[in-house]
Amino acid sequence: MTDLPGVVITGVSGRMGQMLVREVLASERLKLSGALERPGHEWVGRDLGEAMGMAPLGVLVGGDPLEAFARAQAVIDFTAPAATVEFADLAAQARAVHVIGTTGLSEDDLARIQRAARHAVVVRAGNMSLGVNLLTQVTKKVAQALDADWDIEIVESHHNRKVDAPSGTALMLGEAAAEGRGVTLSEVSDRGRDGITGAREKGRIGFHAVRGGDIVGEHEVMFLTGGERITLKHVASDRSLFARGALKAALWGQDKGPGEYDMLDVLGLND
């Protein structure tokens, strides 16, 4: 048991954090070596198991990432952009695999993560599920096969507590569609239509966000032209699938050299 790679979970009080903790505890290939919350959080200093309403685990929730990362071989991070970029620097110092599921990252955030990846393994993905990553590959192939007479629209739906839009997965699908067409997403992205917008511009990729209830995640890519429509769709009904994907990424990265990878690399789906 002591030879297993140790994992630190950040943001352990959140829904995803607690799901990750449970998945690590159930794993036969990883061990929980640390748990983090922001300094001043009510969980800091408490036994993690007791804080989660379980039996004591002998793991105290900490507020110092540097100390926690120094004892770990992997960090799994589904938090917020400001925290994630700080964790990236510290995980690189510790040479720990940094698995990033955080979304809403800016260009500056991504550049900082890329710098950290020069020194350690970073696995970053807008979505950790096998199904979504297969959908990404299919989206790219369909976009390659269809010309600009086919409009592309991406619709994503999530629970009412999600704070960013479009979702990281929607953007990942948009990037795949843009790559298939040989264009840059930032130059063809169309978001937030409202009022008299005029006719749809040819070649644009549209995004639409639905927020409500407890939707785990639904993503639909539509290719539309005169007289016909192709729809590709993925529905997630259990958040644990994202946690399982993150654990798979943490294990996969243990013998890899420094660099930034994604779930297509982990799943062996990259071209």
Dist CA 208 CA 176 (whole Å): 17
Span 131-185, pLDDT tens digits? 999 999 999 999 999 999 999 999 999 999 998 899 989 999 999 999 999 999 9
Contact, 221 vs 231, CB < 8 A? yes
- pLDDT value of residue 204: 97
Kindly give, in sequence order, each residue whose CB lies less than 8 Å from that of residue 67, ignoring residues fewer than 6 positions away. Answer: none
Contact, 185 vs 116, CB < 8 A? no
Q: Is the model's pLDDT at 47 over the cut of 70?
A: yes
CATH of domain 6-124+239-266: 3.40.50.720
Catalytic residue among 158, 208, 219, 248: 158
Dist CA 152 CA 82 (whole Å): 32
The helix or strand, by DSSP H or E, that contains position 51, with its residue range, turns out to be helix 48-51
Decide if 158 is catalytic: yes
Q: Is the model's pLDDT at 48 over the cut of 80?
A: yes
Dist CA 252 CA 240 (whole Å): 18
CATH of domain 130-236: 3.30.360.10
Residue with tokens 């789906």: 269
Span 93-103, pLDDT tens digits? 999 999 999 98
Q: Max CA-CA distance within the chain?
A: 63
How does residue 271 score in pLDDT terms, banded at 50, 70 and 90?
low
Q: Is the model's pLDDT at 127 over the cut of 60?
A: yes
Span 61-88, pLDDT tens digits? 999 999 999 999 999 999 999 999 999 9
Domain boundaries, the chain: 6-124+239-266, 130-236
- pLDDT value of residue 270: 75
Question: How is 64-131 classified by DSSP, letter by letter?
Answer: -HHHHHHT-SEEEE-S-HHHHHHHHHHHHHHT-EEEE------HHHHHHHHHHTTTSEEEE-S---HH
Dist CA 50 CA 59 (whole Å): 10
Catalytic residue among 41, 119, 162, 256: 162
pTM higher than 0.75, yes or no? Answer: yes
Q: Is the model's pLDDT at 1 over the cut of 60?
A: no
The angle at the Cα of 78, spanning 261 to 192, to the nearest 5 degrees, equals 90
**Strand order, beta sheet including 151-158:** 189-191, 205-211, 151-158, 217-225, 228-236
Decide if 202 is catalytic: no
Span 176-230, pLDDT tens digits? 999 999 999 999 999 988 999 999 999 999 999 999 999 999 999 999 999 999 9
